[in-house]
Chain A
């Protein structure tokens, strides 16, 4: 049986954003926005997973192809457990399994860092208060910051979920510097950069929302990403070049 236009469900309905995202037809800006939304909107994340389950079996139609060489030895060497960054990744992975958000975003594969637990890489600087994980009652609009290099696509997208008091940083066009880490900084007007931790360029990371963002006048605060030695800046201040920056705006 062949469907005709007259039997199309919702012929003039709205775009299925989750479907278009999974299909891959969104342009870079819309794609980054949708990917950020997966982190903060459980309903949307559910829709994305449903579309991944619907569409991905199409890959059966592809004939297999072998790479020109066996890539396993290179993959084995690159596994995080083999270098100094391994500990952090392992902690993230443990938290992934334990996190409630992951339960809805399993295919989208989000890494969530809880507000408690021994998180080395994203722990606030010593003496810095952790924000309490108490949800305020009223829903707040979503705030998004595109962390961009001087020219080109956003390296990371940061989203603030004030209700959950959580900040999520998702990689966009972020490079993976060899033998270096990317570190996230918060810079308030007239203040020194404050370290927020090393962020992965191949996974989203969530962290407790810094208290500085709790107030209404938080938008002048800039988020910046610098290139640092593996594990983060040894001095507590950026030591490498700042490769991307941006500030939150309400969407």
Chain B
């Protein structure tokens, strides 16, 4: 697929997803099913990585789509977030919510992360705001590698400063400083 038609496909998919969110907001369950079919494999990867447990991740994934159903009307494309960014933000929120409300992590997220990608899953790339991802990747590259790594780990695993420090094997104050500087650097780079 050449670059131009890839962009066209991505634009069309994005428009379809925005339309499906509008229809879901109007109470059309078939529209939510469409959203589920297009996005669940990606959102499941997001929540599975944070929760590290398939059963719990499947439970949270159901909550995610029920939340999407209830709040589809609050998605506003004019705010600059692609629909998939909005959906992924909802998914991360629910997963972190679940993690914060349980005392002890039961499983190792590394194990889940190591699982092979599922070839049957629908193509995510077509839905992605590819430009946003590339810019973000570029800005992360420009950070001190320790800062970038701490931010990536925190984002994907949904771990607290304390757990992050433990995982990296660095003092808490140092890790907090990496995150603080890394976020400031990202903000400066992305908001240019």
Contact = CB atoms under 8 A, between A and B. Distances in A.
A68 B54 contact: yes
B71 A62 contact: no
Nearest to A58: B155
Given A16-B187, A26-B160, 11 more contacts: A2-B144, A8-B144, A9-B188, A24-B158, A56-B85, A58-B155, A72-B33, A75-B62, A90-B27, A96-B74, A109-B67
A235 interface: no
Q: Is the interface of B mostly helix, strand, loop or mixed?
A: helix
A92 interface: yes
A42 interface: no
Contacts of B190: 54
B6 interface: no
A23 B147 CA distance: 13
Contacts of A31: 96, 100
B117 interface: yes
A62 B121 contact: no
Contacts of A251: none
Interface residues on B, range: 35 or more
A211 interface: no
A96 B72 CA distance: 10
B2 interface: no
A47 B125 CA distance: 27
Interface in B143-187: 143-144, 151-152, 154-156, 158-162, 164, 176, 179-181, 183-187
Given A103-B76, A109-B74, A66 B118 contact: yes
B101 interface: yes
Contacts of B18: none
Contact of B42 (A27, A59, A90): A59
B167 to A, nearest CB: 12
Contact of B25 (A1, A15, A71, A93): A93
Contact of B136 (A16, A57, A62): A57
Contacts of B129: 57
B142 interface: yes
A27 B95 CA distance: 14
Interface string B66-77: 110111111110
